[in-house]
Amino acid sequence: MRQNLRVVRGREIRKEDLVQIIALNHLVYGPEATASLENVERVLAKNGETCLVVRDEARGKVVGYMSALPLVPEAFQRILDEESEEFLDADDVVEYDFSDPKPKLYHLYLASVVVETSCQRSGIFRFLYVSFLDALLALGRENSIFFRDLAARTLPQGEKICLALGMNQIGNSCRNEKIYYSEMPPPFLGQSSGKGKELARFYAETLQRG
C-alpha cells in the first residue's frame, strides 16, 4: 500500500481532499468537533504550510491528514484556556513573513490528526508524523520559519500525535478535550533518533546563532 501513498501540503491540497477530510473528521470526532468546508477553505487559504494530506493514489482517496496552524498570540492563548469553545477562523491564523531572512518564531496549534479506520495499522500515522517533521525542517531551512511552542486540544482519539511528539498534558477543556503543550522542539525529540533528533539539533544550532 505504501507505494500508492502521496503526501501533499499547503496549496497542493485540493477542494475534493477537503471534502473527504471533513467526512473523516466527522466520523472520528463527531459533528460538534468538525468545522465547515467554508471555514476550512478560508483557513488553508491563509496558511496551509503545515497541513498535510495523505492520498491513496490507487483508490483516489484521502486516507489520513494532519492540520497544524500558526496562530496569532491571542488565538493560541485561547487554545490553552480551558473555558474556550470556539472554532478557529482565518483571522486567527498567521501569514508567514517570507521576506525577512532572519529567524522568525510563531505559535503552532495541532488542530487535528485523523487516519482512516481501515488503515490504522498501515503505517500512515508514522508517514504523517515524519512528513510533519519534514515540513518543519523545510520551513526553517528554506524560509527561516520556526515555532516557539506547540499546543493541542484533543479528544482521546487524537492524542497519539501529542504523545509521539513528547508533549505534556496541562489541563482539560470544558468540552472534555485534553489540552497538550510543549516548547519547541519538545525535549523528547532531542533524545529520539532519526528525523526528530535532526529537527531538535537544527533548532538548537540555528536559533543559538540567532
What is the pLDDT tens value at each position of the chain, 210 positions in all? 566 899 999 999 999 999 999 999 888 888 877 889 999 999 999 999 999 999 999 888 999 999 999 999 999 999 999 877 667 889 999 999 888 889 999 999 999 899 988 777 678 999 999 999 999 999 999 999 999 999 999 888 789 899 999 999 999 988 888 999 999 999 888 787 789 999 999 999 998 775
Distances (CA, A) of 130 to 61, 180, 198: 20, 20, 11
Write the CB contacts of 194 (distance below 8 Å, at least 6 apart in sequence).
Answer: 130
Q: Which three cell numbers stand for residue 177?
A: 478535550
**145 neighbors 202 (Cβ within 8 angstroms):** no
Domain containing residue 15: 2-209
State how far the Cα of 43 lies from the Cα of 194, in Å rounded to an integer: 31
- Number of structural domains (the chain) is 1
Return the percent helix, strand and coil in the chain, to nearest 5: 45, 25, 30
**50 neighbors 68 (Cβ within 8 angstroms):** yes
The sign of the CA dihedral 40, 9, 64, 58 is positive
**43 neighbors 93 (Cβ within 8 angstroms):** yes
Strand order of the β-sheet with 5-9 is 5-9, 51-56, 61-71, 104-115, 145-154, 178-183, 168-172
- Its pTM stands at 0.92
CATH number at residue 31: 3.40.630.30
